[in-house]
């Protein structure tokens, strides 16, 4: 092959490469123009779901004023942990933390003749500062818990609501739980549904409506 023929051959190859590249570029641009339509459609569906979740997070618990008469209720105030709430005068409040190895605060509202006599508890567990349902309720399976974000108390504090319905040979756990993170501690508020005959759920939620942090 002469030098001239070689040059012509190389030129043809280069031209073919350029043409192929141009065709590929045009095709890829067409695909990119079509692709966002599908992505936007999917994103729209996701935004709708997020809106519903935000509505759940805004749900207020325990603010049905007037459901329960609280005119003669007493006030409990805890300066050390910085909160207060009101409760029915026929019940007592006692801190049972000294009886347990895992709690630094464990208030029960109820008869309080023995530990666990209470229907409602306000507690701060040692070494648990951040809400983690699986860790807190271990070894219960995640499937027995219903978790959502709510607000409660006088100033609508953000809280995690956990409804637990778990039955086993070792005992039952049918509780309504609220967790509030504040000042580096996790406050656990629990209502024992198994003892609803002693204090109704409406009364418990009325107690929640009076809860407030001191600062």
pLDDT band at residue 5 under the 50/70/90 scheme? low
pLDDT band at residue 10 under the 50/70/90 scheme? low
List C-alpha distances in Å: 165 to 61, 98, 147, 182. 19, 28, 12, 27
* Mean pLDDT estimate for the chain: 80
Digit-coded pLDDT (tens) for 181-197: 999 999 999 999 999 99
pLDDT band at residue 199 under the 50/70/90 scheme? very high
Residue 38 has what pLDDT? Answer: 30
Distance CA 114, CA 100 (A): 13
Across residues 151-179, what is the average pLDDT? Answer: 91
pLDDT band at residue 153 under the 50/70/90 scheme? very high
Across residues 124-146, what is the average pLDDT? Answer: 93
Residue 172 has what pLDDT? Answer: 77
% of the chain surpassing 90 pLDDT: 58
Beta carbons of 148 and 131 less than 8 angstroms apart: no
Q: How many residues does the chain have?
A: 215
Q: What is the DSSP string of 124-136?
A: EETT--S--HHHH
Distance CA 33, CA 101 (A): 63
Distance CA 119, CA 138 (A): 22
Digit-coded pLDDT (tens) for 20-38: 666 556 565 554 444 433 3
Residue 125 has pLDDT above 50, yes or no: yes
CATH class of 63-213: alpha beta
- Token look-up 């079509």 returns 34
Residue 40 has what pLDDT? Answer: 35
> Encoding tokens for residue 32?
């990119």
Residue 15 has pLDDT above 80, yes or no: no
Residue 143 has pLDDT above 70, yes or no: yes
Residue 60 has what pLDDT? Answer: 81
Higher pLDDT, 116 or 81: 81
Burial letters for 40-67: b for 16+ Cβ neighbours within 10 Å, e otherwise?
eeeeeeeeeeeeeeeeeeeeebbeeeee
Beta carbons of 126 and 138 less than 8 angstroms apart: no
**CA neighbours closer than 13 Å in the CB half-sphere of residue 142:** 5
For residue 191, list its beta bridge partners. Answer: 120, 176
pLDDT band at residue 41 under the 50/70/90 scheme? very low
Digit-coded pLDDT (tens) for 64-88: 555 788 999 999 999 999 999 999 9
């Amino acid at each position: 092959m002469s030098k001239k023929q070689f040059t012509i051959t190389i030129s043809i190859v280069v031209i073919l490469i350029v043409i192929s590249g141009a065709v590929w570029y045009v095709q890829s641009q067409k695909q990119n123009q079509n692709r966002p339509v599908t992505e936007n459609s999917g994103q729209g569906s996701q935004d709708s779901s997020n809106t519903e979740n935000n509505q759940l997070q805004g749900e207020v618990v325990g603010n049905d004023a007037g459901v329960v008469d609280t005119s003669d209720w007493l006030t409990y105030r805890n300066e050390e942990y910085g909160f207060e709430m009101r409760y029915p005068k026929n019940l007592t409040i006692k801190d049972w933390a000294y009886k347990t190895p895992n709690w630094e605060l464990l208030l029960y509202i109820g008869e309080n003749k023995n530990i666990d006599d209470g229907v409602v508890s306000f507690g701060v567990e040692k070494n648990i500062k951040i809400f983690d349902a699986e860790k807190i309720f271990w070894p219960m399976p995640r499937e027995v818990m219903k978790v959502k974000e709510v607000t409660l108390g006088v100033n609508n504090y953000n809280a995690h609501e956990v409804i637990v319905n778990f039955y086993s040979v070792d005992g039952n756990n049918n509780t309504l739980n609220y967790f509030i993170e504040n000042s580096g501690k996790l406050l656990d508020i629990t209502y024992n549904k198994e003892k609803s005959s002693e204090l109704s759920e409406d009364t418990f939620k009325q107690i929640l409506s009076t809860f407030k942090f001191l600062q």
